[in-house]
Amino acid sequence: MKRKPILAPLLLILLILSVGYNVYSWIKASRIEHSIESAEKLFNLQFTKAERDSLKDGVAEAIEKYKLIHEFDIPNDLAPALVFSPIPVNYNAKFKEQRSDFCIPNAIAVPDNLEDLSYYTVAELSSLIKSKRITSESLTRMYIDRLKRYDPELFCVITLLEDRAIKQAKAMDEEISMGKYRGPLHGIPYGVKDLLALEGYPFTYGSPIYHDQVAEITSPVISNLEEAGAVLVAKLSLGELAWGDVWFGGKTRNPWNTDMGSSGSSAGSASATAAGLVPFAIGSETWGSIVSPSTVNGVTGLRPTFGRVSRTGAMALSWTMDKIGPICRTAQDCAIVIDAIAGTDGDDPTLVDKPISIDLKADVLRLRVGYAKDYFDKEYGFKTNDSIALEVLKDIGIELIPVTLPEHLPMEALSIILDVEAAAAFSHLTLSNMDDLMVRQGKMAWPNFFRKARFIPAVEYLQANRIRTVLIEEFVKLFDEVDVIVTPSFGGNQLLMTNLTGHPALAMPTGFSSSKLPTSITLIGNWYREDQILLLGKAYQDKTQWYRETPEKFTPKQ
């Protein structure tokens, strides 16, 4: 029997496969070319057909590289290999290295009703504990009782640390009885925003995605406060992944009007402090997350210099913008807290070993104080109270020097720096679609911002950071002329500017609006010169006493 020839069919099959492969390759190349052309419109670019043809293979290779990156497990606490410092090489902070003087008062009376202590300042409580007129345990129990009583209305507590806090307070009292006194925070209760780790306890970021996450380490900020003798009573709410005041437990409320939110993202820290549920709390700021809730809740917030306070053990949102700082009743209290938490930790590479020397007895009239005249001249919501605040500073004896902040730079465009870094920090949520589990959805919520950031070119991210260098140089010039700049808290783009440049800022209350809600003004200082804005802040608050005002619903009844 004759064998059928198989060469022709094989050749036919090979021909079909070859044609098919070429057609597939052509389709794939055409799709990539079309994608490049579409991307040009997204990224404000314009290439020729020949240029697109040359790009095709490189883009295809890049897509395969992206896949490899997407498949690699990158946890939130893994920082980029690039370390940002806003400090120019030739910058030298001129201050004396000396022991801080916080002007702790002596003659503080103990009220008949222990709960009246809920609105005392840290400095006042410190005086009472040191003199053994009150105990840390009684103070801690009082604040825990208020946290339990008022949290159902304020939604400011994520984890109450009652047993741990009582044990710690008793230990602090025992030390006092034995003659050991750690300093002005000895035995003082406080709360922290729940983006700071406490080993063995929930670490939620305010998101249902991380509801069951348990911290494996303790943040150096918490460790430093405990070394100073402070007693941690609660982990407080934050807007989910550090945006706003909405978290998996609801919306954190404003004690001055509980129909309203407390702003964010340090929502619980500001709300709890304003409501007298803690004497102070720790918050964080990337773009207004200390200043804004401090304003809305009528408390005093300090955003430190970038690199002043450890971020180890903290949720990362933006490696070049995140800062951790205190939210208190007064500038004096902020001085006490920042003195305890500042310093290097051996892990966070952005930290700089600069001494923090705060002398609240220094001569405030030696400060050169500028004010952002262009901002104050405009019509805006806080104008009346801001104008009064400027007059108060003049009455103190301050000569206000007009300055102009660099609004000529494309500031809003620089916000892509935060968008890119935040999207990278939570990339896995976008790639896995776990972002669908987040509380807030829609155009103005993290899930959409994370997706949008995937379309920001790396080139533009670097270009924005190069403009950031120009912005930093502009502020060097400003601070050649003045020591402190007074500005409306939300004037122009100063909040974005100074978060990008890493300058410290103090937001403090200035009274109330026509709708009976708190207002604030902000003092901006030079790098590492928190002492100067705190000195001026204390002088203003000694004169105005707005921090003595308390929200009626949460004020102890006589």
Q: What is the DSSP string of 324-370?
A: EEEEESSHHHHHHHHHHHBS--SS-TT--------BTTS-GGGS-EE
Mean pLDDT of 145-165: 98
| Structural contact between residues 265 and 243, judged by C-beta atoms closer than 8 angstroms | yes
- Confidence at residue 33, expressed as pLDDT on a 0 to 100 scale: 79
Residue 294 pLDDT exceeds 90: yes
Residue carrying the six token digits 């206000």: 400
Q: Which residue has the tokens 């305890």?
A: 340
Same-domain status, 229 and 346: yes
User: Could you read off the pLDDT of 242-265 as tens digits, one per residue?
Assistant: 999 999 999 999 999 999 999 999
Residue 6 inside a domain? The answer is no
Q: Would you state the torsion angle of the CA atoms of residues 140, 146, 149, 151, taken in this order, to the nearest 10 degrees?
A: -100
Is position 212 within any domain? yes
Q: Strand pairing partners for 246? A: 251
Q: Are residues 184 and 63 in the same domain?
A: no
The answer on 32 and 155 residing in a single domain is no
- pLDDT, residue 8, reads 61
How many Å apart are CA 447 and CA 439, to the nearest integer?
10
**pLDDT at position 68 over 70:** yes
pLDDT at 17: 60
Q: Domain for residue 460, yes or no?
A: yes
Residue 138 CA neighbour count, 13 Å, CB half: 13
206: phi then psi, degrees, rounded to nearest 5: 75, 15
Per-residue model confidence (pLDDT) at position 154:
98
CA angle 555, 556, 558 (to 5 degrees): 120
Report the C-alpha gap between 222 and 324 in whole angstroms. 11
Range in 18-22, 297-301, 398-402 with the lowest mean pLDDT: 18-22
Does residue 18 surpass a pLDDT of 70? no
What is the pLDDT at residue 460? 97
Mean pLDDT of 392-421: 98
Which stretches of 94-135 are assigned E, i.e. beta strand? none
What confidence category does residue 279 fall into, taking pLDDT thresholds of 50, 70 and 90?
very high
Burial of 149 (0-12, 13-18, 19+ CB in 10 A): exposed
468 and 360 within one domain: yes
The answer to whether position 357 is within a domain reads yes
H helix runs in 91-182, sequence order: 122-130, 136-154, 162-177
Using the 8-state DSSP alphabet, how is residue 487 labeled? E
Does a cis peptide bond (omega within 30 degrees of 0) precede residue 100? no
Q: What is the C-alpha end-to-end distance of the chain, expressed in Å?
A: 116
Contact criterion met (CB below 8 Å) for 296 and 270: yes
Give me the pLDDT at residue 89, please.
85
Q: List the Cα angle 435/438/439 in 5-degree steps.
A: 155
Q: What is the pLDDT of residue 42?
A: 82
Domain count, the chain: 2
- Collapsing DSSP states into helix, strand and coil, what is residue 101? strand
Mean pLDDT of 391-397: 98
Is 82 within the bounds of a domain?
no
C-alpha–C-alpha distance, residues 511 and 298, integer Å: 8
**pLDDT confidence of residue 30:** 73
pLDDT at 1: 46
Please state at what angle helix 136-154 crosses helix 162-177, rounded to 10 degrees: 160
> Do the domain assignments include residue 126?
yes
Same domain, 378 and 317: yes
State which H helix or E strand residue 334 sits in.
Answer: helix 331-341
Q: pTM value? A: 0.93
Residue 56: per-residue pLDDT: 85
The residue with tokens 């000396």 is: 98
Are residues 216 and 352 both part of a single domain?
Answer: yes
Q: Are residues 288 and 379 in the same domain?
A: yes
The residue segments making up the domain with residue 48 are 17-71
Q: Does position 344 have pLDDT exceeding 60, yes or no?
A: yes
pLDDT, residue 6, reads 56
Q: What is the pLDDT of residue 402?
A: 98
Residues 119 and 65 grouped into a single domain = no
Which tokens is 91 given?
């910058």
Q: Are 125 and 248 members of one domain?
A: yes
Q: What tokens appear for 5 in the block?
A: 């020839």
- pLDDT confidence band for 240 (50 / 70 / 90): very high
What phi and psi values does residue 162 have, to the nearest 5 degrees? -60, -55
Distance CA 157, CA 147 (A): 8
Would the pLDDT of 3 be above 60? no
Is the pLDDT reported for residue 91 higher than 90? no
Stretch 280-292: mean pLDDT, rounded? 98
* Tens-digit pLDDT profile for residues 20-51: 555 555 555 678 878 888 888 888 888 898 88
286 lies in the same domain as 217: yes
Residue 214 lies in a domain: yes
Q: Say whether both 52 and 128 belong to one domain.
A: no
* Residues 253, 336 within the same domain: yes
Average pLDDT value over all residues in the chain:
94
**Percentage of the residues of the chain whose pLDDT score is greater than 90:** 85
d(CA 33, CA 405): 44
**For 172-192, what is each residue's pLDDT tens digit?**
999 999 999 999 999 999 999
Bridging pattern class, strands 257-261 and 281-285: unpaired
CA dihedral 548, 490, 206, 150 (to 10 degrees): 20
Percent composition of the chain: helix, strand, coil (DSSP 3-state, to 5): 45, 15, 40
In this structure, what CATH number is given to the domain that contains residue 458?
Answer: 3.90.1300.10
51 within domain boundaries? yes
Q: Starting at the edge strand that comes first in sequence, how are the strands of the sheet with 231-236 ordered?
A: 157-160, 231-236, 189-193, 281-285, 323-328, 300-303, 505-512, 518-525, 484-488, 369-372, 400-403
